[in-house]
Amino acid sequence: MTQKPYAIDQMISAKQIAARVEQLATEITDAFSTTDKLVVVGLLRGSFVFIADLVREIALPLEVDFLEASSYGNSMTSSREVRVLKDLSGRIAGRDVLVVEDIVDTGHTLSHVLRQLQARGPRRLEVCALLDKPSRREVDIEARWIGFEIPDEFVVGYGIDYAQRDRNLPYIGRVRFT
């Protein structure tokens, strides 16, 4: 096994994440209490662990769909050019939609995705993000629900990767290059 050219320091524990996911799910359940079926749209790939835990805690009828968009590739910085790699399978016109994002950084990807989804005529469109880096924002965009606000540091774990590595960590870790 080769040595990683970086170390990972735990920033947010698995226990903290689980507690916050439960709180977010309660708030989301309350906010969408009148919906007949919530469409939860996970932005792949970084949100897959978060969305799995979140939907198990939401006490509403729901369906899950996925959209994959990227502006990073294997880089640590956004190219600001957003590419949709996988579109939704179902229709969202007239439906209540919750977009689940792993991290809101510059805001370019989320802004692009929300414009695309809004054009499809959902009844309601809201965003829940696990992490928020407001100091990096370049686009005026906010998620209604935020798990944790973090400083401008590169993080991995709980579904979030660096060059397709470390998604399987049960916590959020700060990457420190060695």
The angle subtended at Cα 27 by Cα 159 and Cα 20, nearest 5°, is 40
Q: Which of 53, 96, 102, 105 is catalytic?
A: 105
Determine the Cα–Cα distance for residues 68 and 49; give it in Å rounded to an integer. 14
- The DSSP secondary structure of 19-82, one letter per residue, reads HHHHHHHHHHHHHTTT-SSEEEEEEETTTHHHHHHHHHH--S-EEEEEEEEES-TTSSS--S--
Coil, helix or strand for 118? helix
Contact yes or no for 6/62 (Cβ under 8 A): no
Active site residue 105: yes
Catalytic residues: 105
